[in-house]
Amino acid sequence: MTTTAVDGNAAAGALFEAYGREMTLVVATCTACGQAGPVAETVAYLQAPGVVLRCRRCDAVLIVAVAHEGGTVAHECSVRLPGGDG
């Protein structure tokens, strides 16, 4: 199966599991290039082992959400999220 990029809104489910709330309208700021916009507008790869969100401008990895037995854990990479999540 080829790996194809979709929009961050397609990752809404995995992000909800990780954060316990709807995340797609949250503004994510890329700490690599400064691009800021809703999580829904990032580039999402859903077919990796886990969900990978990348910056639409510079391709930096913003968030990796991985499902474990106990639930989904989000690893924040080059990203700043409001409200102390980053």
Partner 1 sequence: MVDLIDESTHVRSVVLDLPDWAGHRAGQHVDVRLTAKDGYQAQRSYSVASSPEDGQVVLTVEVLDDGEVSPYLAGELQVGDQLELRGPIGGYFVWTADLGGPLQLFAGGSGVVPFRAMLRHRAAANGGVPVRLLYSARRLEDVIYRDELGRLAANGESDIRFTLTREWPDPWSGYRRRVDREMVEQVAWSPDDRPLVYVCGPTGFVETVADAMVELGHDQATIRTERFGPSGG
Q: How many CA atoms lie within 13 A of 42 on its CB side?
A: 34
Least distance in angstroms from the C-beta of 23 to partner 1: 9
CB atoms within 10 A of CB 45: 18
Phi, psi of 5, deg, nearest 5: -90, 140
Closer CB to partner 1, 37 or 80, in the complex: 37
Closer CB to partner 1, 41 or 85, in the complex: 41
Binding characters for partner 1, 55-74, by CB under 8 A (x = yes): --------------------
Residue list 1-40, contact with partner 1 (CB under 8 A) = 1-2, 4-7, 9-10, 12-13, 16, 22, 24-25, 38, 40
Exposed / middle / buried, residue 74 (Cβ in 10 Å: 0-12, 13-18, 19+): buried
**Tokens at 6, concatenated:** 């979709």
Name the residues that contact partner 1, by CB under 8 A. 1-2, 4-7, 9-10, 12-13, 16, 22, 24-25, 38, 40-41, 46-47
